[in-house]
Amino acid sequence: MSTTQSDRLRGLLEPLVAAKGLDLEEIELSRAGKRRMLRIIVDSDEGVELDACAELSREVSDALDESEAMGEDEYVLEVSSPGADRPLTEHRHYVRAIGRLVKFQLSDGEETVARVLDVDDEGLDLEIPGVKGRKATARRITFTDIAKARVEIEFNRKDKKEEEA
């Protein structure tokens, strides 16, 4: 997508998304046969419910129909939340991952899996799970040390509400 079109779309969509209390994470425009596919990814600290995506989709569709941002060609609009395997790239992504297990690839090539305990402006406090009966260890990494990070899916993890009960 051209920078100008991307900027126009972002300028049009960000206020609509923000009005719903959501963050505009990504805008993707691609070809799907003869039509174009416009995919808008939104998120929030509380996550995004299906009803919120549907409502936002209607509003975005109306706004796009009223504007020249998509031109005259047909397009398919998809509004969704990011998948569980989305890379962590923004500070807010790490804050949302507090309490979750994350796989880190560090700048020096090291890979580690750790639970995010806290996030501040410089980096993260982590707990590296113990292996074979060993105790978990604490570790601090800075954002500049992180090359890639992605939440690990845990099928047997207790929910925070279950732990408090």
* pLDDT band, residue 163 (cuts 50/70/90): very low
Report pLDDT digits (tens) over 8-48. 888 899 999 999 999 998 898 888 777 788 999 998 888 88
Report pLDDT digits (tens) over 71-91. 777 888 999 988 777 889 899
pLDDT at 6: 78
pLDDT at 2: 52
pLDDT at 159: 54
Higher pLDDT, 157 or 123: 123
Report pLDDT digits (tens) over 107-132. 999 999 999 999 999 999 999 988 88
Give the orientation angle of helix 3-19 with respect to helix 50-66, to 10 degrees.
Answer: 130
Residues 6+ apart with CB under 8 A from 57: 77, 78, 79
Residues 6+ apart with CB under 8 A from 87: 148, 149, 150
Mean pLDDT, rounded, for 139-156: 91
Three-state secondary structure call for residue 76 = strand
Residue type for position 126? L
CB 17 within 8 Å of CB 42: yes
User: Is the predicted pLDDT of residue 51 greater than 60, yes or no?
Assistant: yes
Closest CA to 126 of 136, 134, 115, 135: 115
Which pTM was predicted? 0.70
